[in-house]
């Protein structure tokens, strides 16, 4: 369905403004304060900017050692400009997923507008994706693995654009290459995605050897090579490599064994439970009340899968040209060329969907571990709704307004819940008040004070929010369980995490205490000994 340009642009900008507002409102405040994975990604961005090294002292590493078993590096590198401009704050770190989520919505619109030539569905798909609880929640906090769906989407878009102008293959190579540094788990499927797409277009005689395709291949290999070397290093085939411009680290604990064919049945059962229930029990990924894509949406996912693939199957069964064109684009009267573009987009969508299921089969997943599955599932669901309420004439004439009304109503309900009840619920997990409390410690307490940190407050948050000097950290850090895949820190610099809440205050130290310990002997004595206190959210700083 083609709209006139003025109508299409007005609708596009109105929808985009609504979706941006949903992501900007109380940005940096909801969810909570800061998650420990966010904090470690932020601290590495901070040290990479100031020192050119990560928290383990590696110069410009392709993968962060972080906890001991590693962390994806792309979020930290992309956050460097914002940390440099605005300082190490929760909100400045979260600008990366915010920007990428908005770019993803625009890319979804352009994919469908350019390759299906269907303005109504392009606008609806952008709106539908943008009001999904999963996509809203993903855009508002900086979990580094959640960058993967965006970069795979960008790679898909530029690959398809390469059919029109071959220079775009280079952008596709960059995006697919960078996706490897957003989430290591997808290393097993990204080669499959790229190979399937290349073979498809070779068979369709859409790709030929030119300076652009050769350059794209070389760029992809160059970007991917450090990931290959990383595997060789951590599987024991070669020594680690350190330099000021690129390091390949040997992790303290390598979790390569998590990807396995040995638990296929159990993993798939877990995956389908998450899909059907739209919940993995983790409050930062889903809400039980609304699910990932609103709980009543799944039947449309099945309809969408059938409706979008049936024309492709029929076309490839060599049915008559006129009948095929009527099925593929019956409302658009598009040309055979446009029909081929439609089929190419459908192929890409199915390949990315299969890749998500492969990841879910090979590892034990939660929502963020299989995050590459949700965008193709959302787009299939959107197409199912579009097909039922727009392509079926009897329903279109009577109920075309119904899905828009229902989903906008659900979106409003979700937003009201997200900024009220959910905001209260997430505060505990994301440590409400900790940024303000640790900023007070950094700025107002004397350097010679020993700062005791109460149990439950992860050391990554302290490192990031106090702008911990890297050299001091590397010189003084003590671990309780080294070597381990998940290291626990006993102390570094003037911060000690070895606090007994039933101990006596030493009268020379300061304490950052969770208010849940108010009834402990230590806190009672801190008040009795006349300690000053600074309260912030669920934390209190006691100091002399």
Whether the pLDDT of residue 339 is over 50: the answer is yes
Q: How much is the pLDDT for 399?
A: 93
pLDDT tens track for 263-315? 999 999 999 999 999 999 999 999 999 999 999 999 999 999 999 887 766 56
Burial class (CB in 10 A: 0-12, 13-18, 19+), 530: exposed
Q: How confident is the model at residue 482 (pLDDT cuts 50, 70, 90)?
A: very high
pLDDT tens track for 188-216? 999 999 999 999 888 877 788 899 999 99
pLDDT tens track for 265-277? 999 999 999 999 9
pLDDT tens track for 17-61? 999 999 999 999 999 899 999 999 999 999 999 999 999 999 999
Mean pLDDT of 101-122: 94
Contact 274, 367 (CB under 8 A): yes
Q: How much is the pLDDT for 180?
A: 97
| pTM beyond 0.85, yes or no | yes
Q: How much is the pLDDT for 272?
A: 96
pLDDT tens track for 390-426? 989 999 999 999 999 999 999 999 999 999 999 999 9
Closest to 157 in 3D by CA, of 114, 206, 216, 191: 114
Whether the pLDDT of residue 183 is over 70: the answer is yes
Closest to 374 in 3D by CA, of 286, 311, 281: 286
Q: How much is the pLDDT for 336?
A: 41
Count CA atoms closer than 13 A to 518's CA, side-chain side. Answer: 7
Q: What residues have CB less than 8 Å from 127, skipping those under 6 apart? A: 15, 18, 19
Mean pLDDT of 80-90: 96
Q: How much is the pLDDT for 351?
A: 94
Out of 230-239, 248-257, 369-378, pick the least confident: 248-257
Closest to 175 in 3D by CA, of 140, 196, 148: 148
Contact 382, 298 (CB under 8 A): no
Dihedral sign (CA 202, 205, 209, 215): negative
Whether the pLDDT of residue 461 is over 50: the answer is yes
What tokens were used for 201? 């277009």
Cα–Cα distance for residue pair 528/514, rounded to 1 Å? 18
Cα–Cα distance for residue pair 537/47, rounded to 1 Å? 28
Collapsing DSSP to helix, strand or coil, 532 comes out as strand
What tokens were used for 387? 């097909």
Q: How confident is the model at residue 454 (pLDDT cuts 50, 70, 90)?
A: confident
Q: How much is the pLDDT for 344?
A: 81
Residue % of the chain over a pLDDT of 90: 81
Angle at 19 between CA 17 and CA 25, to 5 degrees: 90
Question: Which helix (H) or strand (E) is 349 found in, with range?
Answer: helix 336-362
Tell me the average pLDDT of the chain: 92
Mean pLDDT of 57-72: 96
Q: How much is the pLDDT for 317?
A: 56
Mean pLDDT of 493-511: 92
Cα–Cα distance for residue pair 250/62, rounded to 1 Å? 11
Mean pLDDT of 441-454: 88
Whether the pLDDT of residue 341 is over 70: the answer is no
Cα–Cα distance for residue pair 11/473, rounded to 1 Å? 52
Closest to 467 in 3D by CA, of 69, 66, 45, 76: 45
């Amino acid at each position: 369905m083609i709209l006139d340009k003025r109508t299409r642009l007005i609708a596009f900008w109105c929808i985009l403004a609504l979706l941006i507002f949903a992501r900007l409102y109380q940005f940096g405040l909801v969810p909570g304060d800061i998650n420990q994975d966010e904090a470690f990604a932020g601290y590495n961005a901070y040290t990479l900017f100031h020192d050119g090294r990560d928290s383990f002292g590696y110069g410009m590493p392709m993968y962060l050692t972080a906890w001991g078993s590693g962390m994806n590096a792309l979020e930290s590198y992309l956050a460097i400009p914002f940390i440099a401009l605005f300082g190490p704050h929760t909100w400045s770190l979260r600008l990366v997923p915010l920007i990428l989520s908005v770019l993803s919505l625009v890319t979804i619109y352009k994919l469908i507008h350019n390759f299906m030539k269907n303005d109504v569905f392009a606008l609806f798909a952008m709106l539908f994706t943008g009001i999904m609880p999963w996509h809203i929640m993903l855009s508002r906090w900086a979990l580094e693995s959640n960058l993967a769906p965006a970069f795979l989407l960008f790679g898909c878009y530029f690959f398809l654009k390469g059919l029109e102008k071959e220079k775009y293959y280079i952008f596709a190579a960059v995006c697919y290459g960078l996706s490897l540094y957003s989430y290591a788990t997808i290393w097993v499927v990204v080669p499959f995605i790229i190979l399937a797409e290349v073979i498809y277009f070779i068979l369709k005689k859409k790709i030929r050897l030119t300076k652009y395709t050769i350059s794209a291949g070389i760029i992809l290999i160059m970007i991917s090579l450090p990931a290959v070397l990383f595997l060789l290093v951590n599987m024991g085939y070669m020594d680690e490599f350190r330099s000021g411009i690129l390091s390949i680290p040997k992790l303290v604990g390598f979790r390569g064994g998590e990807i396995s064919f040995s638990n296929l049945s159990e993993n798939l059962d877990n995956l389908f439970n998450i899909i059907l229930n739209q919940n993995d029990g983790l409050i930062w990924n889903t809400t039980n009340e609304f699910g990932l894509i609103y709980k009543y949406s799944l039947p449309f996912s099945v309809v969408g899968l059938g409706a979008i693939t049936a024309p492709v199957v029929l076309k490839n069964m060599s049915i008559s040209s006129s009948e095929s064109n009527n099925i593929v684009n019956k409302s658009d009267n598009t040309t055979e060329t446009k029909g081929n573009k439609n089929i190419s987009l459908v192929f890409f969508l199915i390949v990315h969907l299969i890749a998500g299921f492969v990841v879910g089969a090979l590892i034990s997943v939660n929502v963020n571990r299989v995050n590459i599955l949700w965008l193709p599932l959302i787009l299939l669901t959107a197409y199912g709704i579009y097909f039922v309420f727009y392509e079926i004439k009897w329903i279109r004439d009577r109920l075309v307004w119904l899905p828009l009304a229902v989903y906008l109503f659900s979106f409003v309900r979700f937003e009201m819940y997200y900024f009220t009840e959910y905001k209260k619920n997430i505060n505990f997990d994301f440590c409400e008040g900790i940024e303000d409390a640790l900023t007070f410690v950094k700025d107002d307490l004397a350097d010679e004070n020993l700062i005791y940190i109460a149990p439950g407050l992860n050391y990554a948050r302290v490192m990031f929010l106090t702008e911990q000097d890297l050299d001091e950290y590397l010189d003084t850090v003590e671990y309780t369980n080294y070597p381990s895949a998940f290291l626990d820190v006993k102390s570094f610099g003037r911060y000690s995490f070895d606090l007994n809440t039933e101990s006596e205050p030493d009268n020379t130290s300061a304490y950052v205490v969770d208010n849940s310990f108010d009834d402990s002997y230590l806190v009672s004595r801190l008040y009795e000994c006349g300690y000053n206190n600074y309260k912030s959210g669920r934390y209190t700083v006691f100091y002399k």
